[in-house]
Amino acid sequence: MLIVEDEDAISEPLTEGLEREGFLVTLVKTGGAAIAALANIDLVLLDLGLPDVDGADVCRALRAQSDVPIIVLTARGDELDRVLLLELGADDYVVKPFGFRELVARIRAVRRRVDASSDATPPERSSARTVGALTIDLRTRRVTVEGREITLTPKEFDLLARLAEDPGAAVRREQIIQEVWDEHWWGPTKTLDVHIASLRKKLGDPRWISTVRGVGYRLEQHA
């Protein structure tokens, strides 16, 4: 695990605590060092307030090089910032101040999702789903709208693929959280709304995904 945090008061106890939990930790204090240390890393904990480079730019650079899961540690709590982080490729975020047990739970949940995706058998990932002008290739994890490829984070892709399993059908929020995130997920369900907002923007038309009030979301067959 790579921790990118320049404040000793945070990084030192965080490193010690994660090592007690059995994680092998590499600690760096700058964005440049984070990019250089990416090889052989299974997960990144990235603080946004770095001394050399804005954390959002580091997140973008890390995602351009690798599909490694990225959990952002941020003091920024408003929805716009959270949407931006997910668009840049972060898989999850934890708002400071955070509880250590919550962070460990988030880390393990992300790792379970990655492991489950890696263990998927070829037949499960070999087909493409087409919904109107939208095509989702499960094997290559590529998405196109009217022939234009759009870039999604791993979690955005999983969410869109789940909705595309049954276009036009309403999928309950609880079901999405269980199947796309984790059956033991206990973080804020607002995470789902942030991912939906990001997906709508990237698809180019918010009408692709409808909100079913009191139920969840639905992928429209024609936007």
**What is the strand order of the sheet 170-172 is part of?**
170-172, 216-219, 209-212
Give start and end residues of each alpha helix (H) in the chain: 8-20, 31-36, 55-65, 79-88, 100-118, 154-163, 173-176, 190-203
Q: Which three-class secondary structure state does DSSP give residue 219?
A: strand
> For the chain, which domains are there?
2-118 (3.40.50.2300), 122-219 (1.10.10.10)
Q: Model-level pTM?
A: 0.60
**45 vs 56 pLDDT, higher one:** 45
Output DSSP code: residue 216: E
pLDDT at 212: 93
Least confident of 64-73, 107-116, 213-222: 107-116
CA distance 184 to 179: 10
For 101-134, what is each residue's pLDDT tens digit?
888 888 888 887 776 665 554 444 447 888 989 9
Output DSSP code: residue 37: T
For 166-209, what is each residue's pLDDT tens digit?
889 999 988 888 888 765 454 556 788 889 999 999 999 999 99
Output DSSP code: residue 203: H
pLDDT-above-90 percentage for the chain? 37
